[in-house]
Structure 1
Amino acid sequence: MQHQWDEMHRTRKPSFVLCGEPQGQVLNLYVHGYSAFFNQQQLASFQAQLAGIEGSTNLMLFWPAGHFLENLFAPFKDIIASMLGGGSLGAATVGLGKAVGYFLDHYKSVEARVDEVARTLLAELANYLHAESIEVRQINLIGHSLGARLLVKSLLASPELARELPLNHLLLMGGAICTSSPWEQVSAPLKGRVINCHSSKDWALALKPDTERCIGRYAIPLTPSLKGKVTNVHLVTFDHAAYWPQLQTVVQYTDLLQERRGMIRADQRSAEVRFAEEDVDLYPVLLQARAPELQFLAELMAAKRSATIAADVRDPLQLAIELQRMGGDSFMNLARGHGVSYRQLAQDVALRVGIKFDQPIDSVALVSLEERVAETLIEQYKDKLSQADRQVFEAELRAAAQKEQGFFHRFDVGRSATTALSGTALAGLTGFILRRGAATAIPVVGQALAAAMLLVSGVRAFSGPAYSITTLAVLVLGVIRQRMEREALNQEMDLVVQVVEALDLPRETLMRTVSPDC
């Protein structure tokens, strides 16, 4: 690794890095984007992560994508020195302007290298496989950010060689390339599909120093000729930094290795499987659930007499299908061939517990629905408790919320759960429920639902356990979704930590930046 690191930085030529031992005849080639590795340790960590992808031979293209921290410290030090030394705001502004100008120039210089690397990439890949005696029957190309652009450019630069190689899928994650690229030509040599993973939360691409409408934020427009060759996958919770840390999830969700009847081979899926896998508010979240959360959901749904799932099931797809079934009417499920979407299920739960909205419920953010359900259930359940029991319950909520919120916990002990900052009530109630298990939690939520519906309509809340089951599921899915948000923020904060350490700033600076209320 030391030799490859030194050689690439000395010659500025890309090199291939084999990650782990060869595994079969399917090759995944991973191409990183701009500013990927600041030091050799980060590269080694990434290599180890790729080695953990099972079912394929994993190869990385290590190319001169630079890092924006290179030579960036000087202008930042000018800013800090000016401010600490009592300098004027004008001096600090000049220093900041230098830093911004450096970043723009640096990014543009790396962007210019893409065409150079792309011109010879496929030829060098073929030569590498031959020299290392690596026999493959299928090659998947996976690129992130500028790495996605590099792969697209390489297919356009060498179409004949691309047809000679056994290229299967092209997986693009947060791609920094225009949606109007010639996708017919890009997809032509592929036996599989172009899979575009995009997210509207990818603000890094929104702030990219040009006006390009990138596929990392938007779907590739599907013409009739592209419908069988391009798949757009909206990963609604992902930001630009989320793809590599959650690569295993992306590989599973897109069924890159074709280990199951997955999203790509749509013609082989049943209506229920297709509907569940395309529910972007549910299935990607279950793929990232922790073992106790999957266990809870399985035991919860298995408690229903009509359930078709066992308590020991942990497969996210099976859990998604079963939850969608429970959210719909049995006869309607039979007629349409599947249950209801998670969004519809959450809306039904919110209305069932008597929540009123100032706007059409279809326009309310999903995370707001989940939080309002948690807050409503807390207040309704507390109303049924004695003063002593209420104090015990609130203490339990606070303890569970603190555990769920982790480093970014800002729970004010002087405030009630319903006036806590966004997500604390949800984390607290869900943590409380998870700690007790499904069997104990159903009566708690059932009592709250019954109380709510008696107030709203004067009748019993439900005939059977279905709503207490789907309500609990909304709480659990909500806390998983918010945990994913926090983990993505943690990844972004790693960069802040690097800058603080590199500039030798006080640790208090970082703490005030991250958590000013602490």
Structure 2
Amino acid sequence: MNQKFKFHTLPQRSGEVANVFIHGYSAGHDMEDRCALRKCIPSSLHNCINIFAFWPSGHWSQFDNMSSGGVSAITRLNVLAGAAAAVADRAIHFNTSRNRATEMGKTLLQQLERYLFQHHPYISRVNLVGHSLGGRVVVSALLDWMKKPSDGKLEIGDVLLMAAATELSGADALAIGKRLKGKLYNARSSDDNILLFNLGESSAGRHEVENCVDVPMSGFGHTDYWPQLEQVLRKSGFHGYQGGIPALNQPLPTVKTPDPVFADHLLYDLLELTSGRIRDQVVKHVRSSSWASLEIENSVYLLTKEFQLLGGHCLVNLARGRGLKYVQILLMLAEHYDLVSELHDCAQVIEMEALLISKCFRSSFGEGHVLGARTDIVAQMDAMTEKGYFEQVDALATSLTMTSYFSTSEAPKPDYRTTAPARASKELTLISASALSTFAELIPTQRIKAAVTNLKSAVKPGYSALIPAVAILFYARFKLDNEGLL
């Protein structure tokens, strides 16, 4: 079981107090959801250091191969039995996540101290905010903290539980409160029916807990806390909020149906702010797809729209009138390259791009490629000239086309590390099945899989254009170094 937190400090930070936010079940599970959670942190907290602690909480819709296979088999025999099996499987899945939350909590403060020492050594006090199973993580962390003598290195100020999917007795709340330097708040709502599924426990998120500062959020459902976080902070009197900027009395105007192109700020804003030279490279690779119909070079809007349409299924895109958002395209490519299990370590889009692009170079040219290692791809890219990096992306783009399997490429040669030369994976795709069995001990299985994946990239519509275009966007994001777009 993965017990590693992925901490991420948000932009617009100041002060010497950190607010640490922990999400719950079916939240923070992918990059799109993590981006949405970050947007929920109000500007009134910009007087503090705001940190998200992402953990592998799981998602109700994520079935592993065994679960999906079993449910599908039962459904073929009987639809009602299949539905019952799906419900039972999800109940087991939630219980597993609930147990994981308890175990993760026992390691939270230790991992947090290491992160703060490395990134924010001046922080002396933290406030904790946990929602749903994130509240369970926090309570587990505090109960474990109570068993250990205080070393005085890190003080815990205010603790805010929101819709906490955990039991908390008055005695435990009293003991925790005595150790805290701030207050223990319990934001709860009796209208939160989702917590009724926390079977076998009386969730603190539905009722008042003795020795906690009671924060009743009348009418709140389970998913209302993050979008209305500022209201919860204001009503509780949370320490990190008191010194913040007062909320505006007038509601901000909202667009009910935002344009999906303008709304995709991780793509549209990046293309708008980057240099024309880099944008031209994106245009070049997007146009290389036979599925693209980009005609106007200097239109950021049309380029963004065309890029989105290359992602996903063309018929689905046609039916809904739009393509995929940039983070959804990255997830699609990550699934294609079997990287889903590694996405937990990505809290920013640029980290996801680094993971994906290093895998693409490694898959096409082997372990020895200069851009094939995720750990130092940024350093290697930074050391290259712009022209040199573009040439490597051109080589990658050529390796992802069907013609490269049957003709000699005229693209620039891949750049390998001097200490670990590697063979191009194209050779493997031309080996017959009998040869593969003969040389099974000589050819690593990973290289065979990489060759097959590359062939799939060449066959799938749009992939051979999307991957090099993402590589250019990765470079643009790194060079722009705009925290709001990372």
- Which TM class, normalised by the smaller chain length? 0.3 to 0.5
Q: Larger relative CO (CA 8 A, sep 6+): 1 or 2?
A: 2
User: TM (normalized to structure 2)?
Assistant: 0.46
User: TM (normalized to structure 1)?
Assistant: 0.44
